């Protein structure tokens, strides 16, 4: 089914946040932080706060601004809070999967919010079931909380470390107990997690630093691979819970997911993307009159491309500012132009022009062809597509929903074939080396979706399996 | 807070239902069965069906007629279903407590619906936590499903038996697996459970037989204490899972909870109640002109009283037919007459008359005084209150919310004092012996709320504890 | 379509209420009054209050208890209020028809609530359209407000009188202006309207006196045919606005609609219904063992029948107390027994008994046959149906939805044929003379639905028209 | 109250659309057209379709994508439809004001959707009330439909012309009758209205041409001032209904409201805005390193400014893509930085840079100061603000909600004072002459908000009145 919602983009899986704000209602701050993390998940949102040992929960389907109001926010008392925004999939949306997830354990109540994917979840699930534990959902997150609940003696940090020793995958977690909040990052550093300092004391942990500015927080540092950061009345404390693996930070965070105003690996994402655009221009510039982005995410790349190539930056496509899911079907006559519901061309900007159009990525390739046609129909003399990343040829099992392998256009067509398919005058992708150059790195990134070189074995095995093969227990 | 919802009545905790209907959508039948069990719980409703091994769930807050519509009912495919209606408490209402409860176990998915109360839940809860299991709710039902999940080898019937061996309390359960549905009754027979036969094959298990008529089912038998009844493609099979204890069927089911058209202990409830009314008349008749019930539940008792005493049956009070919670507060002037929002008198029926008013029970005693005053203000020459059960002096821990011990008026006042308090010309309760006579039994019933003689030790201990003393983990 | 909602009963069209309560928030009182008028309409409810010349409105679909909460009730400021409960039809339910209806006129804002039917509405509608007025709904009520708005000079009472002079039909109205509330009754007295006095000053006008008790009001008098009653700071004032016509109070208010605790034509309705039951016994008693009502409305008639005949009153049918619309279809197997969703029999009360079953009316005859069968299947030796009114053979155009003429079973079958059709051992209706005897009247009632003698010519003409013939302007 | 919703921008009042699509469900096309007009109003949306003479309506609060779904869209049958998107005000939002407005008249049903403001509405309102018409709302639109309903003999076009002769103001209307749809534009041409041709026959009228591309339509022409365009089975017909006045097209449509991909006055809006940016650079360039827009509306102006000045275009501010109203209050500490909830700076792009920030307008001036501070705090060496229009010193009464006169910062401060107030290194507005140059016009535009020269007398009078002075009849 082709709908207005079918964007040909990778999908992130969630944003996480934790705040300790002495003397202040932490949840009120967290609201503004989650609002800034909305781009990491629009399906649902939730918070669990802790007030003198009692946990308070509110979570629901919807945008952060829809889920919370003064009434329910007021109930989220206390100076400790964790929050979560959940990403929107079609169909599997269900209230019982909304996070954070809260449980009682022998050591008291605990709540957990999760961004990422646990690759050895099937085995862990089997093990829990064999221990005689009943599982209510098919989510990784429930597995994590049971690992925590059964993690043996010691303090919460050692329990968390014990859980980390059991799991494999890409993940950033926030965990709330009666006395502290914790941030946890996987040993490969696949998913991001940063620590900030509040202006009046207290700390904040978040998937991205863009959550800091609205609450007046300042960056302290990124949490390292395999580290746990505890925030509480004693400030913050970072410990290496499990050995750091070979760093494999997700390049797609840099290319597409992260907000341009976030800082990742020490650099502003907007600058990284400009540099990617510049590198793309260095590798495959072309004679042209204007550079236009595919809005909104292509803008920084296009600015960089324009800057490097000397070709004028302009706009050639307008995208609706109003986000709203719809399942209204176009009539048969309009079906082929579903892209036309999302983007409108700017003919007078394009007419007679040789146009370089910069997109951040091509996943299934369903949008690119109609966009090229739209630009040409609006008068462009030539349309050269430049893509700010290498061809995506392998699925991701570490937290990004790229599409299934057989849907990835670059998995079954060469760049030349794709260029013909989308009928561009020319098509070029960024090279992997070029990407690394723009990232100022020779290493330390996961490029598995381009190379098929996964950071650990399980992910390779998963690629060999049909995704749909895991037993579906609960229908919807 | 005094609201229109403050009826001075005991509260039941839920109705359960299970259907196996070969070749038919079982959930559609279950809808009409649950509709007939609505009196056992108006807060929420739910069903889980099984279709070729896949479980389908729908549950929500609201009346059965509000929770289900054609769209969600159509999804509940399969010839096996269990259903649940949940009772309405103030405040603790929350979606996550809505039943049935469904989980995956090492032996496949299972769903469970529960009516009753597990008295050793605190100890079981501790034990599960100590096993390293995380618990998501404070409900007994989650404890039951984890006991099931961890119940060891064997088939589902032996697992259920194993669970039963661990729990103490009054309960009727319905359990759904991939191949069968089960009905389970506690070894004391505290809560009711009956088996019926569908007209075109298949069986139904329900809290009460009133669920049978709307779906054309016929009574087969009551499930005995400590028994499990399995219904599936092989018909039904009843086994004694744990030894039968001394039968202790809840007298309040007979007096108040059950629908008058249900059959319990082999007799039609309406007939039992008429007989209770007759016995009440034998014990404490009085010179009077009319017998009027407190509607609606007092009607059969009043018919029996009128029949035995020869005093004319009439109506003296009208009760609104429209059920609807409201939290609108009366003005200060109206506050004392909150009973007047619920009941209106019929003055011309009452004026100058000596009136016997028959109520099924007095719990906290907040309604009786205003009702007596209302009848008198409407012109009654005399008002004699007759109560169809003995004084309620002890709380129930086996599935009925009677109110806390300190709220029970008969726990702190003599009958004489209560009569003075409510300003009746006379007040009489049914005697315990009289109740047993009406029930045609010398034994086999739980009368703990009248006598304090609980069927097992734990309940006695619980009475000694403050109810609020159990740790409250999750705020709301 | 046969659904659980298909009761074979006439349907009332709305309840109205007006309160002037000096120094008190009138809307808070009105809430409890409307709650007591809920039986006159369950589709929607609304109030308009006046506070220092400003009108405040809240209205919505749903029961009174669902429509109002503390938040919206608090906004309904002022010591003047009118309220409305709207009756439930299938399909045409729409927010824009919810009352009261409020408009601005050259003489200030005015709001109006309406119970009844305007028989010359089509002509008035045409006339308004010809005056160049645009009409937003197909309702009578909008016609009334435009007649009021255009009613010329003078005070509001003379404007209302001017409107009354133009309209024909059965109606009770409540009207709110900046300084007063008014009650208005049609010149035939077809629809009821009563005046009460509040305990601390102020007055209340209501469709029925059952609205008085919950707010502590006392009956003052019934408003006479063609009268206007104004309530404001000067107390109340009743004037004869248009000449009184030959009194034609709706007998169905007495037989079925009004709550039993209301006073109509000077008598308690419950007493009238008992007397109807006695008269029915005088006319057509039969050898029998028990008298059972069709619950709930048949109870007072059955009590009277039992009292007169000496046959024991009992219950033979249980009706669900839980009102809730549902559109779930029974399966093919269950379809014929849709009555079985509503009523359950009490077999042990019936077995071997000769039963007189008393119903208040038979409209389309769809329920009676299944009920007779249900009683017989439950063991009744004989089933004698007694109906507390004469055969309904003509539709009503003065405010009652009886069904279309062709649907009325008594319009196309004799009593003998109906008796055969429903397979009762005997069937008898009350005679018209008997009804008048029970009402202690030789005259003053509208019996058009039995006799076809309408109180005015237009209604006769309407009977000759197809109901569906009036142009339908707006689809739904 | 300062909330996240307080953007310091002018507010448009609605978008209108009409479609005649022979052989096709017009409402389905209209859905995609309204979706493209969402920027003209996000509070509510509605459509009325006509199918063989019957009108079908659906309208509700919410975004177009929320208001319509397959179920309600399917009901909007027929090849004629009009649609409306309504703008979002705080507080006065109410379902009864949602458009289109539909009524029955003596000449059949008619529906109307309205963008604009009728300046002589108070006088017309008085006149209608004096004619004895009751008015249900305080909206201009109800006045229009009553003028239509009472507009005398002739066909609909002459009735519409008759209505136009009575009203003064800026307006674009869409009107639906049983046989045709009409577009109507005020004689000053204040509000926009364009005609397009559908690919398979039929026509579309819309506030802006951006509604054409998603449905495959092509521009035919703009409707002229004082013209009516009828679309029906005979194609389209344009007539001059009232004499064209001196053209006064709203410059703010060009500067801010219209989507950049719309064509107005023969030019693509994006090009006009680039030219405005170039003119602004010509008038008041400055030595600087980068030009950054205030997103999203400032982008085309900034592109033009960069192009003319030769200063590099970049981004310095990120704006949340997720639209969602919220009323959550920041804590006291955060209050001053409410702008920080909306915009985040891009420090590395700004640090050490001399920055020109281009905004489209300054209305109340509440955002500019915090934005300047944010840029400076992020490291900008200098911040020069350039505004793409002249100072706004007068309120608009022709369809734009600019804010009240006393709220307009330029009405009480000089440009110098504003520059000091917002603490910019320099501040410059576009000159009126420069604006006209960019618009390639010496005349034909309404610049009243800059000059106080209103196109007609009434608007001047309105400026002298307190807005709140008109009687408020209905509270909320």
Other beta carbons less than 10 A from residue B443's beta carbon: 9
Report which DSSP code applies to C119: T
Give the pLDDT confidence of D325-352 residue by residue, as tens digits: 555 666 555 554 567 778 899 999 999 9
| Per-residue 3-state assignment (H helix, E strand, C coil) for A317-361 | EEECCCCCCCCCCCCHHHHCCCHHHHEEECHHHHCCCEEEEEECC
Greatest Cα-to-Cα distance within chain D, rounded to the nearest angstrom: 72
CA distance B209 to B264: 8
Per the prediction, chain B carries an average pLDDT of: 89
CA distance C70 to C49: 15
Of the candidates B223, B172, B238, B244, the residue with the CA atom closest to the CA atom of residue B455: B244
User: Do the Cβ atoms of C257 and C40 come closer than 8 Å?
Assistant: yes
Residue D93 has pLDDT above 50, yes or no: no
Higher-pLDDT residue of C142 and A473 is: C142
CA distance B243 to A86: 50
Mean pLDDT of B157-162: 96
ipTM of the complex: 0.88
Per the prediction, chain A carries an average pLDDT of: 89
* Joined tokens for residue B261: 């058209």
Residue A2 has pLDDT above 80, yes or no: no
User: Do the Cβ atoms of C188 and C247 come closer than 8 Å?
Assistant: yes
Higher-pLDDT residue of A246 and B327 is: A246
- For chain B, give the percent of residues with pLDDT over 70: 90
In the numeric block, the tokens 């809730």 are attached to C324
CA distance C111 to D474: 11
Q: How far is A272 from chain D (nearest CA, A)?
A: 10
Q: What is the pLDDT of residue A93?
A: 44
- In chain C, what residues touch B29 (CB-CB under 8 Å)? 331, 334
In this complex, the chains that touch B, judged by 3 or more CB pairs closer than 8 A, are A, C
Q: How far is C353 from chain B (nearest CA, A)?
A: 14
CB-CB under 8 Å, B130 with A148? no
Mutate which of C270, C377, C379 to test chain B, going by most B C-beta atoms within 10 A?
Answer: C270
Q: What is the pLDDT of residue C334?
A: 55
Residue B343 has pLDDT above 60, yes or no: yes
CB-CB under 8 Å, B328 with C28? yes
Mean pLDDT of B137-147: 89
CB-CB under 8 Å, D134 with C104? yes
Q: What is the pLDDT of residue B11?
A: 63
CA distance C41 to C180: 25
Q: What's phi and psi for A437, nearest 5 deg?
A: -60, -45
Give the pLDDT confidence of C370-423 residue by residue, as tens digits: 999 999 999 999 999 999 999 999 999 888 877 778 889 999 999 999 999 999
From first to last of its 476 residues, chain C has per-residue pLDDT tens of 233 344 676 666 799 999 999 999 999 999 999 999 999 988 889 999 999 888 999 998 888 988 999 889 999 999 999 999 987 543 344 566 788 999 999 999 999 999 999 999 989 999 999 988 999 888 888 999 999 998 877 899 999 999 999 999 999 999 999 999 999 999 999 999 999 999 989 999 999 999 999 899 999 999 999 999 999 999 999 999 999 999 999 999 999 999 999 999 999 999 999 999 999 999 999 999 999 999 988 999 999 999 999 999 999 999 877 755 555 666 555 554 567 778 899 999 999 999 999 999 999 888 899 999 999 999 999 999 999 999 999 999 888 877 778 889 999 999 999 999 999 999 999 999 999 999 999 889 999 999 999 999 887 787 776 444 444 444 44
CA distance A471 to A464: 16
Nearest 5°: CA angle at B84, between B83 and B86? 165
User: Do the Cβ atoms of B45 and B62 come closer than 8 Å?
Assistant: yes
Greatest Cα-to-Cα distance within chain C, rounded to the nearest angstrom: 72
> Which of C4, C39, C337 lies at the smallest CB-CB distance from B321?
C39
* Joined tokens for residue A370: 């109609």
CA distance C193 to C198: 16
For CA atoms A298, A300, A302, A305, give the dihedral sign. negative
- In chain B, what residues touch A149 (CB-CB under 8 Å)? 129, 132-134
Higher-pLDDT residue of B208 and A364 is: B208
Residue B15, judged by CB atoms within 10 A of its CB (0-12, 13-18, 19+), counts as: buried
- In chain D, what residues touch C103 (CB-CB under 8 Å)? 134-136
CB-CB under 8 Å, C328 with B69? yes
> Which of B216, B312, B347 lies at the smallest CB-CB distance from C333?
B216
CB-CB under 8 Å, C104 with D54? no
- In chain A, what residues touch D199 (CB-CB under 8 Å)? 333
Give the pLDDT confidence of D400-425 residue by residue, as tens digits: 877 778 889 999 999 999 999 999 99
> Could you please report the per-residue DSSP string of B358-385?
EES--SSSTTHHHHHHHHHHTT-SEEEE
Q: What is the pLDDT of residue D89?
A: 46
Question: Beta B169-176 vs B80-86: how paired, if at all?
Answer: unpaired
Tell me, yes or no, if B210 is annotated catalytic.
Answer: no
Higher-pLDDT residue of B188 and A3 is: B188
Residues 6+ apart with CB under 8 A from B164: B184, B186, B187, B226, B228, B241, B242
**Catalytic one of B14, B50, B210, B229:** B14
CB-CB under 8 Å, C133 with D133? yes
Q: What's phi and psi for B184, nearest 5 deg?
A: -135, 130
- Note whether B touches D: 3 CB pairs or more under 8 A: no
CA A474, distance to chain mean position in Å, is 26
CA distance D88 to D94: 10
Of the candidates D372, D381, D385, the residue with the CA atom closest to the CA atom of residue D284: D385
Residue D268 has pLDDT above 80, yes or no: yes
Residue C342, judged by CB atoms within 10 A of its CB (0-12, 13-18, 19+), counts as: buried
Confidence of residue B329 (pLDDT cuts 50, 70, 90): low
Q: What is the pLDDT of residue A94?
A: 59
Task: Among B82-96, B189-203, D140-154, name the most confident range.
Answer: B189-203
Higher-pLDDT residue of A316 and A93 is: A316
Residues 6+ apart with CB under 8 A from B84: B14, B15, B16, B17, B34, B41, B45, B46, B47, B59, B98, B99, B100, B113, B114, B174
In order of B269, B295, B427, D103, the CA distances from B280 in angstroms are 16, 17, 11, 66
Strand ranges (DSSP E) for A26-147?
Answer: 44-51, 54-61, 80-86, 101-105, 108-118
CA distance B172 to B144: 12
Nearest chain D residue (CA) to C108: D473
- In chain D, what residues touch C108 (CB-CB under 8 Å)? 473
Residue B353 has pLDDT above 60, yes or no: yes
Domains of chain B: 14-246 (3.60.20.10), 270-321+338-454 (3.40.50.2020)
Q: What is the pLDDT of residue D341?
A: 77
- In chain B, what residues touch C213 (CB-CB under 8 Å)? 340, 344-345
Does the N-terminal peptide bond of residue C296 adopt cis geometry, omega within 30 degrees of 0?
A: yes
Residues 6+ apart with CB under 8 A from D435: D251, D255, D276, D279, D389, D390, D447
CB-CB under 8 Å, C267 with B325? no
User: Do the Cβ atoms of B225 and B247 come closer than 8 Å?
Assistant: yes
Confidence of residue B154 (pLDDT cuts 50, 70, 90): confident
Q: How far is B271 from chain C (nearest CA, A)?
A: 7
């Amino acid at each position: 089914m082709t709908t207005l919602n079918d964007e040909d983009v990778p999908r992130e899986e969630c944003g996480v946040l934790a705040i300790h704000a002495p003397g202040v209602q932490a949840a009120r701050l967290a609201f503004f932080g989650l609002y800034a993390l909305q781009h990491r998940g629009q399906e649902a949102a939730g918070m669990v706060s802790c007030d003198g040992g009692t946990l308070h929960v509110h979570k629901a389907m919807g945008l952060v601004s829809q889920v919370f109001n003064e009434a329910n926010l007021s109930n989220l008392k206390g100076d400790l809070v964790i929050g979560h925004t959940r990403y929107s999939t079609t169909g599997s949306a269900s209230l019982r999967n909304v996070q954070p997830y809260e449980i009682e354990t022998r050591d008291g109540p605990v709540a957990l919010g999760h961004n990422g994917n646990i690759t050895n979840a099937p085995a862990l699930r089997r093990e829990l079931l064999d221990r005689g534990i009943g599982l209510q959902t098919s989510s990784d997150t429930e597995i994590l909380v049971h690992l925590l609940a059964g993690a043996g003696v010691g303090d919460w940090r050692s329990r968390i470390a014990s859980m980390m020793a059991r799991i494999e995958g890409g993940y950033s977690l926030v965990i709330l107990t009666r006395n502290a909040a914790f941030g946890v990052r996987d040993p490969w550093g696949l998913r991001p997690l940063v620590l900030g300092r509040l202006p009046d004391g207290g700390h904040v942990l978040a998937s991205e630093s863009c959550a800091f500015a609205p609450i007046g927080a300042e960056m302290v540092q990124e949490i390292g691979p395999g580290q746990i950061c505890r925030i509480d009345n004693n400030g913050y404390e970072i410990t290496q819970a499990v050995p750091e693996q070979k760093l494999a930070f997700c390049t797609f965070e840099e290319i597409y997911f992260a907000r341009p105003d976030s800082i990742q690996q020490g650099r502003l994402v907007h600058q990284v993307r400009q540099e990617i655009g510049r590198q793309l221009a260095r590798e495959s510039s072309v004679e042209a009159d204007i550079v236009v982005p595919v809005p909104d995410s292509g803008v920084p790349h296009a600015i960089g491309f324009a800057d490097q190539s000397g070709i004028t930056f302009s706009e050639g496509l307008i995208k609706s500012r109003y986000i709203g899911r719809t399942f209204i079907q176009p009539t048969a006559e309009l079906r082929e132009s579903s892209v036309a519901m999302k983007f409108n061309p700017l003919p007078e900007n394009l007419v007679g022009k040789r146009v370089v159009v910069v997109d951040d990525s091509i996943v299934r390739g369903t949008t690119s062809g109609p966009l090229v046609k739209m630009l040409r129909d609006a008068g462009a003399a030539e349309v050269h597509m430049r893509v700010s990343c290498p061809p995506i040829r392998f699925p991701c099992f570490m937290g990004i929903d790229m599409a299934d392998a057989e849907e990835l256009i670059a998995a079954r067509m060469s760049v030349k074939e794709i260029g013909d398919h989308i009928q561009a005058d020319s098509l070029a992708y960024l090279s992997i080396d070029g990407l690394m150059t723009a990232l100022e790195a020779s290493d330390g990134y996961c490029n598995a979706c381009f190379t098929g070189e996964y950071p650990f074995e399980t992910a390779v095995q998963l690629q060999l399996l049909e995704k749909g093969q895991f037993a579906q227990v609960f229908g919807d």
